[in-house]
Amino acid sequence: MRQVFVINLDKDTARLAACGAMLDRAGIAWARVPAVNGRALAPEALAAVYDAKANAARAKYPLVAPEIGCYLSHLRAWQAIVDADLPMAVVLEDDFTITGDLAGVIAALAQDRGDWDIAKLFSFRPDVRLIAARELTADVRIGFPYRVPSTTLGYAIRREAAVKLLASSTPFFRPIDEDHKFFWEKDLRIALVQPQPLKVGLQDAAEGTVGDVRKTSARADRGAALARALRGVRYSLGYQLRLHLARLLGRGQ
């Protein structure tokens, strides 16, 4: 049964070939989810899913078109999970490399009865502090990261969570990984497995990366540098305060 979905833009054939070969070697059945190309969306289509007003008030920076497309791509993956009526599935972005027993971790997560909605398979910091950590397999543990990692490279998600997120995620105003950091807003329990079975892999993309587009946008608006910096400080302080309050109240675990 296919319970792994790989998000991939039509033009990124090299990425798909690389990650598909890794999954095949690992004996993992998978299916492709055609990614949404945010740059190809008409302005009215972007406006229909992106709340620019909420972004200005509550986000760290304005979203660029690839970030909007990325969020919509994950929505497509969640819909595929719901349509297939899978109790749990794994969503992967197509720039991962398998570093551990991914098949074993997926099998263990499918059988696990712990109270999590999403279980992340990667963090840029491998030593993330975990709350209520426990054994998932003989070699892997699972727990709730105090601060949810800013990445959606790979994660398991239960069907109930996919249904809830499909109903509550549009319009959005932050990148999808930033939304995960604000887990209390959608009453999500986001776990993390350690050691992680993934790392970042092939980064070459046919249309450039989100980072490339953001840098170009920032260079075109140098006069707003101070405003961006102040907005970033406001965002970071507000996030830290709300995160500590949520954890103090036992939210998300």
Fold of 4-248: Spore Coat Polysaccharide Biosynthesis Protein SpsA; Chain A (3.90.550)
* Residues 27-74 pLDDT 10s: 999 999 999 999 999 999 999 999 999 999 999 999 999 999 999 999
Is the predicted pLDDT of residue 234 greater than 80, yes or no? yes
Q: What angle is formed at CA 206 by the lines to CA 201 and CA 207, rounded to 5 degrees?
A: 110
Q: Where are the domains of the chain?
A: 4-248
Residue 206: its pLDDT value, please? 58
| Burial classification of residue 18, based on how many CB atoms lie within 10 Å of its CB (0-12 exposed, 13-18 middle, 19 or more buried) | middle
Going by C-beta distance under 8 Å and a sequence separation of 6 or more, which residues neighbour residue 43?
none
Cα 58 from Cα 174, distance rounded (Å): 8
Residue 143's region, left for phi above 0, alpha for psi from -120 to 50, else beta, is beta
Diameter of the chain measured on Cα atoms:
54
* Residues 193-221 pLDDT 10s: 999 999 998 766 556 556 555 555 555 56
Three-state DSSP at 173 gives coil
Secondary structure (H, E, C), 74-89:
HHHHHHHHHHCCCCEE
- Choose among 18, 23, 145, 185: nearest CA to 91: 23
Assign 1 a pLDDT band (cuts: 50, 70, 90).
Answer: low
Going by C-beta distance under 8 Å and a sequence separation of 6 or more, which residues neighbour residue 214?
61, 64
* Residues 80-128 pLDDT 10s: 999 999 999 999 999 999 999 999 999 999 999 999 999 999 999 988 8
| Chain-centroid distance, C-alpha 226 | 29
Sign of the Cα torsion 35, 209, 146, 170 reads: negative
What is the separation, in whole angstroms, between the first and last Cα of the chain? 30
pTM of the entire structure? 0.90
**Which residues partner with 91 through β-bridges?**
5, 155
| Chain-centroid distance, C-alpha 156 | 10
Residue 132: DSSP 8-state: E
- Choose among 98, 28, 39, 110: nearest CA to 69: 39
74 vs 238 pLDDT, higher one: 74
Omega cis (within 30) before 195: yes
